[in-house]
Amino acid sequence: MVWTVATMRRTVSLALVLAWGITSTAHAAAPAVAPAARKGPYVQHVSSTSAVVRVELDGPAPVRVAVTPAGDAGVKVSGPDGGADGGAAASASKAFHSVRLDGLHPSTRYSYVVHVGDRALEGVFTTAPPHDTTAPVRFAVYGDNRTDHAAHGALVRAMAMTPADFFLQTGDLVAVGGDPAQWKTFFELEAPLMRERCIFATIGNHELYESSGSEFAQYFGPEGAPAVIPDAGPPEQAYFASTFRWGPARFFLINAMVDYERGPDRAWLEKALADADGEKDLTWRIVALHHGPWSSGPHGENARLHRAGVVELLRRHKVDLVLSGHDHLYERGIVDGMPYVVSGGGGAPLYKVKVPRPYSRKSESVHHFVDAVLTRASLAITVTRADGTVVERCGLPKSGTWDCDPPPAPPPPPPPPPKSTCGCRVAGGPSSPATWLGALVALSAWWARRRRPRD
């Protein structure tokens, strides 16, 4: 064979084509690696008939959420980003997914699997009971996790061993809301809790640091919040406010870091409270926020709420209890018949009581959580330190006051009459002139009788 220039060119071209084909076939045959989960999966906004499954991936990819109740082969659900498929809902390709599941049953434990390519991310949750339930509701309250990861982790381990239907967060989950690394740490520490139960969270001031709260809204905010919260000018809507029902109780999660004299947050709160006034089978109304109206810690009372008349608004709508954080301690008290609890000992540096308030009944600077058991007749709390020891146990009858406060001390006996310090003599006393004169007259009469002649 004679190797001409043309022959050599054809041979090289054929070799390149074959090499490209082999390489392309190898690439096509290699399965794509599905992105791993960066946060979650976890559930949000659990109700008696629905839940929202959220997960953040390392990269964009479609997901499919399959749901199975205990003892059943499947359940019909639907999701906003894709159609229903028996017991599954789909979400389009992206990094963060929030998939709503509807058509669930009350008081039912569900297993779910988030399918991402060949990965299967599993979790469980239990739906809320029906509104007319007579079963007790159990939840745990904590907040202000922030920077002490060892204390935060110890608290999570103690809470994970405590039965609870859900967790209630009083805010400041991280120190800087705009720092992705801090959110990653938070989700890693909270995984034992979020794996099986829902966290309902209020926004704190630290979620707004280096951020407009967009990260909080994405991870824990109400459905429909925009991906980016505007950080200039007045708020366009109550982005961080939400409410949920669990059995006989309705919870109002409000943003304590805004002005309540006017604006969308004030309008939202007034409407939410008014809507609950006529709600069927509703016994308890509980408000949760970050900086509350009462505290003996360094931050003290939230002046914005008092100036705007929010406390009076809560009283008019028969709110039974206010839960807050912000001050890194535990405190329980009652103000003009309104009970409150401050729970800000979730891992942030602890604060001492600065100004003991007359309405405060118990306080301690300690990392802790509050275990609450609620029935239609009463609320019982057990406050537990991170090491498992108990701060106090206390009860709150419906429309009553804390039953763990010692009875008021009896009034002291009246003091004895003061002793006289006067140096003068009392008239008629043994040393007075009148006494001596009387004695002299009596003696003279006696002597006269003795001198009288006898018959």
The per-residue pLDDT for range 271-284, each reduced to its tens digit, is: 999 999 999 999 99
> What are the residue boundaries of the structural domains of the chain, listed by start?
37-126, 137-229+236-397
SS3 letters for 198-248? EEEECCCHHHHCCCCCHHHHHHCCCCCCCCCCCCCCCCCCCCCCEEEEECC
pLDDT of residue 442: 64
User: Are 319 and 312 spatial neighbours (Cβ–Cβ below 8 Å)?
Assistant: no
pLDDT of residue 428: 47
Which pLDDT value is given to residue 15? 46
Question: Distance between terminal CA atoms of the chain?
Answer: 197
The answer to whether residues 441 and 433 touch, using CB atoms and an 8 Å cutoff, is no
Phi and psi of 340, rounded to 5°? -145, 160
Structural tokens at position 65: 């959420």
Count of alpha carbons within 13 angstroms of residue 106, beta-carbon side: 11
**DSSP assignment letter at 86:** S
What does the radius of gyration of the chain's CA atoms come to, in whole angstroms?
37
Reading the block at residue 165, the tokens are: 């239907």
CATH of domain 137-229+236-397: 3.60.21.10
Tokens 């905010």 correspond to what residue? 221
Q: What is the pLDDT of residue 89?
A: 72
Please, where are the H alpha helices in 101-234? 149-160, 180-194, 214-219
pLDDT at residue 305, rounded to an integer: 95
The partner residues of 29 in beta bridges, in order of sequence, read: none
Query: What does the block give as tokens for 246?
Result: 């669990």
For the chain, residues with pLDDT lower than 70 are 1-32, 70-88, 90, 227, 232-234, 407-409, 418-455
DSSP classification of residue 441: H
* Predicted local confidence at residue 434, as pLDDT: 54
Q: Does domain 37-126 fall into CATH 3.40.50.300?
A: no
Instruction: Please report, for residues 185, 200, 274, 286, 317, the alpha-carbon distance to residue 168 in angstroms, rounded to integers and kept in the order given.
Output: 19, 5, 23, 11, 22
Q: What is the pLDDT of residues 43-98, one digit of tens each?
A: 999 999 999 999 999 999 999 999 988 666 455 555 544 444 446 676 777 889 99
User: What pTM did the predictor assign?
Assistant: 0.81
Element holding 307 (H helix, E strand): helix 303-307
76: number of CA atoms within 13 Å, CB side?
A: 1
Residues across the chain: 455
